[in-house]
């Protein structure tokens, strides 16, 4: 499974990129608003740090507007993935952009039927929002399983990019189902490292090593 980080915080991206575990980045208008910086400046900085796909979302909701904005976004760097909403004009833009060789991330997916349409439109990535599904009493992971089955049935190349991740078990369950990518908030990604037995074991090892009076230098 690929790990993308879901943020526009360039300091957090640099920190996580240094682990060697980061395969890409997703941004959206809400994340950019929180960053409080120029959108294109943020994108350029992220693309310089992360060689993998960096999703940048269009603000337009009409076909022509999406194409105009996508043209400008694609000039930022070769690893920009254009993010479009799962609406009719969004899928029309997806088809045109993928035909032109662009990476496209179709976002705000909440049903397997929508995911099927995005794959037929040639999407590079489909972004089902599992946390928001859970928020309204639905099973976000069941959606991922349905999409995985449909894509495998018809050998679609579209990658399932699990979004709206709220906790580490979302990541684990998505991996068990066979999702291609998880885009994870920085604080959730850091929690994947943690386990109380790891911390306890390390404390014991260090204490025992100290008793030997030796050093490794």
Q: Which residues are catalytic?
A: 83
Both tokens assigned to 125: 């990535």
b/e map 133-146, b = 16+ CB within 10 Å: bbeeeeebbebbbb
Task: Kindly report the number of other CB atoms within 10 A of residue 153's CB atom.
Answer: 8
Q: From CA 99, how far away is CA 89, in angstroms rounded? A: 15
Residue pair 85/61 in contact (Cβ under 8 Å)? The answer is yes
Beta bridge partners of 105: 83, 125
Please give the angle made by the CA atoms of 181, 130 and 180, to the nearest 5 degrees. Answer: 15
Q: Which of 116, 111, 128, 136 is nearest to 183 (CA)?
A: 128
């Amino acid at each position: 499974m690929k790990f993308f980080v879901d943020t526009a915080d360039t300091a957090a991206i640099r920190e996580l990129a240094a682990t060697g575990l980061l395969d890409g980045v997703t941004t959206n208008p809400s994340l950019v608003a929180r960053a409080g910086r120029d959108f294109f400046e943020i994108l350029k900085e992220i693309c310089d740090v992360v060689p993998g796909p960096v999703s940048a979302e269009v603000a337009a909701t009409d076909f022509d507007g999406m194409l105009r904005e996508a043209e400008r976004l694609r000039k930022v760097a070769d690893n920009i993935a254009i993010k479009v909403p799962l609406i009719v004009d969004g899928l029309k833009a997806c088809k045109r952009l993928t035909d032109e060789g662009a990476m496209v991330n179709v976002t705000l997916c909440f049903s397997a039927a929508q995911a099927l349409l995005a794959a037929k439109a040639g999407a590079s990535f489909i972004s089902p929002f599992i946390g928001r599904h859970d928020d309204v009493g639905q099973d976000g992971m069941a959606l991922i399983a349905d999409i995985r089955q449909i894509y495998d049935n018809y050998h679609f190349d579209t990658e399932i990019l699990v979004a709206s991740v709220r906790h580490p078990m979302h990541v684990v369950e998505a991996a068990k189902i066979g999702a291609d990518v998880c885009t994870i908030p920085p604080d959730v990604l850091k929690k994947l490292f943690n386990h109380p037995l790891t911390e306890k074991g390390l404390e014991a090892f260090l204490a025992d090593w100290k008793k030997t009076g030796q050093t490794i230098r």
